[in-house]
């Protein structure tokens, strides 16, 4: 066996997928046609898919259009504990077959999946509109990101199959290879039901693992549609399962099963901690320590220094706080502003917030659509009421008109760092603004959080930039730009502390979490 790695097949260098421009009348018309097509398909029923076997259940799960809550998007099965056990067992049985498929062949399936997503991009955009409540402007970055994950991880997998050689001792052939782990449980969130679902799933599959996909109950139809992509791309039906249903009914069964090798999760802190705790237990028959890859949210801050470009900072905060209704783990929910420019910043921000249009996500001119559910809406409104007592309401603070879960973009100023709306993740269109004495104080306030996902600094002071690089404790730091919109390859994504395991999705280290390294030494003399 040669100690020199064989180079992977030549493929084009990775480039991020460009976004469709809806200002182009032809592209806008194509999107409207996709919306009409998808709307005609609302209300269909979808089965469980367990290693290629379709199953029905007596109890059903319905996802609704959060812009028009009387519309049912999809009817899905509520999987049982037995369904969950069967899914793990079948995945375990097929793992030896799937793991033996050469990495290059699995990577080619990812390239095909990317092509299928490109062909169906406006259709997936439309499903994101109707089931996730994403506006037109928010759909394209997500579909493009799903394509990017397929393209990027395919290339990373081919490199992983041919790693750099290790040091060669005299008289030996020494190498290190990477082996897939086994059966994985993939639990994606509702807020990026295509991109994060795709990224987590294909990363596990391309490295030779078999997976059970447990989508959010808010957005299961998008998961069912992505399964169509996997099958068309050539992934064997036995290599994955789609298991819909409540997390309490089947989630614990999937996580605690002794043949589950790893869990890949994106969602709330509390659920992530529960998964981590459950996975840490070793039931009888389990011969490994389960691996948990978790991204668990944030309470992200943007610092606006007195030496910032104020217009640039206002727009950065605006887009970070209210894009997708603030329902991003990377969203800015705290603006920490130097006292020297505090009042002027608030005046400019208030003017810009008033210009934001809230409306149904399928209407092209809506900047903000609905929040995801009635429960989310109620929780956000309760936080707003708390915020009115903890600070000074300067914008929003109430529901918006319409048949969906609409809330006006809300800004609450003069918020103390010990306030609930400063410390707790709200996951909605609510921004707390806090005054800082100087840049050092702003950093202190920004770090006063149990989370550490994203953050931004707006400043033209290079010394403060360098200080932020060292002392702003987040996994993804941005300078003079918004704190949302991480790009695959350029901004490996994942945070510190209660934001998760700093998994760095879309980065060169991500696939290593789904493999285990094996060192091999062969004596040759």
Q: Which residues are catalytic?
A: 295, 329
Angle at 376 between CA 61 and CA 62, to 5 degrees: 10
Closest by alpha carbon to 341, among 308, 301, 319?
Answer: 308
Query: What DSSP string describes 337-388?
Result: EETTTHHHHHHHHHHHHHTPPB--TTSTT-SB---S-HHHHHHHHHHHHHHH
DSSP 392: E
The DSSP H or E segment spanning 34 is: helix 25-40
Closest by alpha carbon to 322, among 347, 345, 356?
Answer: 356
Closest by alpha carbon to 114, among 195, 50, 3, 224?
Answer: 195
Residue with tokens 């103390």: 416
Separation of CA 57 from chain center:
29
Contacts of 57 (CB under 8 A, 6+ apart): 48, 77, 78, 79, 80, 83, 245
Pairing of strands 53-55, 260-266: unpaired
Task: Supply 366's token pair.
Answer: 């809506």
DSSP 27: H
Backbone angles phi, psi at 520, to 5 degrees: -130, 125
Residue pair 484/328 in contact (Cβ under 8 Å)? The answer is yes
Decide: helix, strand or coil at residue 45. Answer: strand
Residue with tokens 């957005």: 219
* N-to-C CA span, the chain: 14
Contacts of 315 (CB under 8 A, 6+ apart): 352
CA distance 211 to 503: 18
CA distance 483 to 336: 13
Query: What DSSP string describes 421-455?
Result: HHHS---SSEEEEEEESSHHHHHHHHT-SSEESEE
Strand partners, 458: 304
**Left, alpha or beta for 194 (phi > 0: left; psi -120 to 50: alpha)?**
alpha
**Residues comprising the chain, all counted:** 525
Residue pair 326/423 in contact (Cβ under 8 Å)? The answer is no
Closest by alpha carbon to 401, among 360, 350, 430?
Answer: 360
Task: Supply 394's token pair.
Answer: 């300067």
């Amino acid at each position: 066996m040669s100690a020199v790695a064989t180079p992977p097949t030549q493929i084009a260098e990775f480039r991020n997928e460009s976004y469709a421009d809806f200002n182009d009348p032809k592209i806008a018309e194509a999107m409207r046609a996709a919306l009409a097509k998808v709307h005609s398909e609302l209300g269909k029923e979808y089965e469980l898919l367990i290693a290629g076997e379709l199953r029905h259940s007596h109890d059903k799960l319905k996802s609704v259009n959060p812009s028009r809550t009387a519309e049912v998007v999809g009817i899905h099965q509520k999987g049982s504990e037995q369904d969950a056990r069967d899914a793990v067992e079948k995945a375990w049985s097929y793992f030896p077959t799937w793991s033996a498929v050469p990495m290059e062949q699995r990577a080619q399936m990812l390239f095909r999946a990317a092509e299928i997503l490109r062909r169906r991009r406006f259709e997936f955009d439309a499903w994101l509109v109707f089931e996730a409540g994403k506006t037109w402007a928010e759909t394209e970055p997500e579909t493009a990101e799903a394509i990017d994950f397929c393209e990027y991880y395919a290339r990373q997998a081919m490199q992983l199959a041919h790693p750099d050689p290790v040091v060669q001792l005299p008289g030996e052939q020494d190498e290190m290879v990477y082996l897939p782990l086994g059966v994985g449980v993939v639990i994606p969130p509702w807020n990026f039901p295509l991109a994060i679902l795709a990224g987590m799933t294909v990363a596990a599959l391309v490295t030779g693992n078999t997976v059970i996909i447990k989508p959010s109950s808010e957005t299961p139809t998008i998961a069912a549609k992505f399964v169509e992509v996997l099958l068309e791309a050539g992934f064997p039906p036995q290599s994955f399962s789609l298991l819909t249903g409540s997390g309490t009914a089947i989630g614990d069964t999937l996580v605690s099963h002794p043949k589950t090798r790893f869990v890949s999760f994106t969602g709330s802190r509390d659920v992530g901690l529960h998964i981590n705790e459950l996975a840490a237990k070793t039931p009888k028959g389990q011969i490994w320590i389960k691996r948990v890859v978790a991204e668990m949210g944030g309470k992200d801050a943007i610092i606006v220094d007195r030496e910032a470009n104020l217009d640039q900072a206002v727009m950065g905060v605006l887009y970070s706080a209210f894009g997708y209704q603030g329902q991003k783990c990377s969203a800015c929910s705290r603006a920490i502003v130097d006292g020297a420019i505090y009042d002027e910043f608030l005046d400019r921000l208030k003017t810009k917030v008033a210009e934001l249009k809230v409306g149904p996500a399928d209407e092209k001119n809506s900047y903000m659509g609905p929040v995801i559910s009635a429960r989310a809406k109620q929780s956000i409104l309760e936080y707003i009421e708390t915020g009115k007592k903890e600070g000074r309401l300067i914008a929003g603070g109430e529901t918006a008109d319409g048949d969906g879960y609409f809330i006006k973009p809300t800004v609450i100023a003069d918020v103390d760092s010990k306030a609930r709306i400063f410390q707790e993740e709200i996951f909605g269109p609510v921004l707390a603004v806090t005054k800082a004495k100087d840049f050092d104080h702003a950093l202190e306030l920004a770090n006063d959080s149990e989370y550490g996902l994203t953050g931004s600094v707006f400043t033209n002071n290079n010394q403060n930039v360098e200080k932020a690089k060292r002392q702003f404790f987040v996994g993804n730091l941005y300078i003079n730009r918004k704190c949302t919109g991480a790009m695959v390859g350029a901004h490996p994504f994942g945070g510190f502390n209660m934001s998760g395991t700093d998994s760095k999705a879309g980065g060169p280290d991500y696939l290593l979490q789904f493999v285990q390294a094996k060192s091999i030494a062969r004596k040759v003399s």
